[in-house]
């Protein structure tokens, strides 16, 4: 039996990952400061003898004996990561340094949850891992983008200098049950607005694109990456790209909503297009997403009905 540390384990992706690791028979320490995560997400694991919940902030040192670390702790939605921008960048930099120090001492393998945001507003499309990105270093998204870019730098330097066993994944927009209803991301906003027959708020003209991956597909890719000998970075996401306006119409259709579409100002530095190139994931991990957007959205809509 191996012991896994999942930082950010009470969050959206982390809670699915904890469940999957427990089902595979592993011991799991779920570490979270509950900034954007919730006990509700991991409530069903509390009686599992292989599960341990720790309230802790990764910007402070943490000591435990572990074999594997998934470093997911970091708010992911723009309103949440901009709420306390300095804390966000501390989480990515100090937090990742603390987790790398832990990995070094324990000789644990550590996987960093990086993001498509490291490509910024990309000038090449779809985004391949060798693209260095187009990030505004002083904008309102930079606390997250530059924090995650620096976390990748730290991962590579601990690997080169101290031989730490690392893996880096770049996650593209992921959705599914356990997303926080108040997180302000497009999937939660549109589904809740549609279920309540309220106006659907499109930022800008809705021509910007995103590519949405269902969480179960993502978790499969994360586990394959942790088990692989390839250190990355590697893109994990669903290459099926759509305009935000078309996404709004799809949600209205699937929820049979009476909502109307309204247009709001586009936030600064909002990327105009985003789609992962996943050739590397196919080649190195034999991974590609399997869950179609409608199937994934129907499960997600069911989950959000609890909050109406």
Cβ proximity to ligand NAD: between 212 and 257 the closer is 212
The verdict on 78 binding ligand UDP (CB under 6 A) reads: yes
Segment lying near ligand NAD (by CB under 6 A), choices 68-76, 248-256, 257-265, 297-305: 68-76
203 binding partner (options ligand NAD, ligand UDP, none; Cβ < 5 to 8 Å by kind): ligand UDP
Q: Token pair for residue 25?
A: 């028979």
- Interstrand relation of 209-211 and 68-71 (parallel, antiparallel or unpaired): unpaired
The verdict on 95 binding ligand NAD (CB under 6 A) reads: yes
User: 144 an active-site residue?
Assistant: yes
Asked if 206 contacts 244 with a C-beta cutoff of 8 angstroms, the reply is yes
Asked if 37 contacts 8 with a C-beta cutoff of 8 angstroms, the reply is yes
**x/- contact string, 203-242, with ligand UDP (CB under 6 A)?**
x----x-x--------------------------------
The verdict on 270 binding ligand UDP (CB under 6 A) reads: yes
Q: Binding to ligand UDP (CB under 6 A): which residues in 142-201?
A: 173, 185-186, 189, 201
Active-site choice (45, 81, 144, 214): 144
Cis omega (within 30 of 0) for bond into 233: yes
Residues 6+ apart with CB under 8 A from 227: none
Among residues 11, 177, 232, 296, which is the contact residue for ligand NAD, using CB under 6 A?
Answer: 11
DSSP 90-155: HIIIIIHHHHHHHHHHHT-EEEEEEEGGGGBS-SSSSBPTT---B--TTSTTHHHHHHHHHHHHHH
The verdict on 74 binding ligand NAD (CB under 6 A) reads: yes
Q: Binding to ligand NAD (CB under 6 A): which residues in 177-206?
A: 180
| Residue 163: HSE in the Cβ half-sphere, 13 Å Cα cutoff | 3
10 binding partner (options ligand UDP, ligand NAD, none; Cβ < 5 to 8 Å by kind): ligand NAD
Q: Token pair for residue 195?
A: 């279920």
> Which residues form the interface with ligand UDP (CB under 6 A)?
77-78, 173, 185-186, 189, 201-203, 208, 210, 244, 267, 270
Catalytic residue annotation = 144
């Amino acid at each position: 039996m191996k012991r896994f540390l999942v930082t950010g384990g009470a969050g959206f992706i982390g809670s699915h990952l904890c469940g999957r690791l427990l089902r595979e028979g592993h011991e799991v320490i779920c570490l979270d400061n509950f900034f954007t995560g919730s006990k509700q997400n991991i409530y069903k694991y509390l009686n599992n003898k292989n599960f341990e919940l720790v309230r802790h902030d990764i910007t402070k040192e943490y000591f435990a004996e572990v074999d594997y670390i998934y470093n997911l702790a970091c708010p992911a939605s723009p309103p949440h990561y901009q709420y306390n921008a300095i804390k966000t960048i501390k989480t990515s930099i100090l937090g990742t340094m603390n987790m790398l120090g832990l990995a070094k001492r324990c000789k644990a393998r550590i996987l960093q949850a990086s993001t498509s945001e490291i490509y910024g507003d990309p000038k090449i499309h779809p985004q391949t891992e060798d693209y260095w990105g187009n990030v505004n270093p002083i904008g309102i998204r930079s606390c997250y983008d530059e924090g995650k870019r620096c976390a990748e730098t730290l991962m590579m330097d601990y690997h080169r200098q101290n031989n730490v066993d690392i893996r880096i994944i770049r996650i593209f927009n992921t959705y599914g049950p356990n997303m926080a209803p108040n997180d302000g991301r497009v999937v939660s906003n549109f589904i809740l607005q549609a279920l309540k027959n309220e106006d659907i708020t499109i930022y800008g003209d809705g021509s910007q694109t995103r590519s949405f991956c269902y969480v179960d597909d993502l978790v499969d890719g994360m586990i394959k990456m942790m088990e692989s000998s390839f250190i990355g970075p590697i893109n994990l996401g669903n290459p099926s790209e759509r305009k935000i306006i078309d996404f709004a119409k799809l949600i209205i259709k699937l929820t049979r909503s009476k909502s109307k579409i309204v247009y709001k100002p586009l936030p600064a530095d909002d990327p105009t297009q985003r789609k992962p190139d996943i050739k590397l994931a196919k080649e190195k991990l034999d991974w590609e997403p399997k869950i179609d957007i409608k199937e994934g959205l129907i499960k997600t809509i069911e989950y959000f009905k609890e909050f109406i």
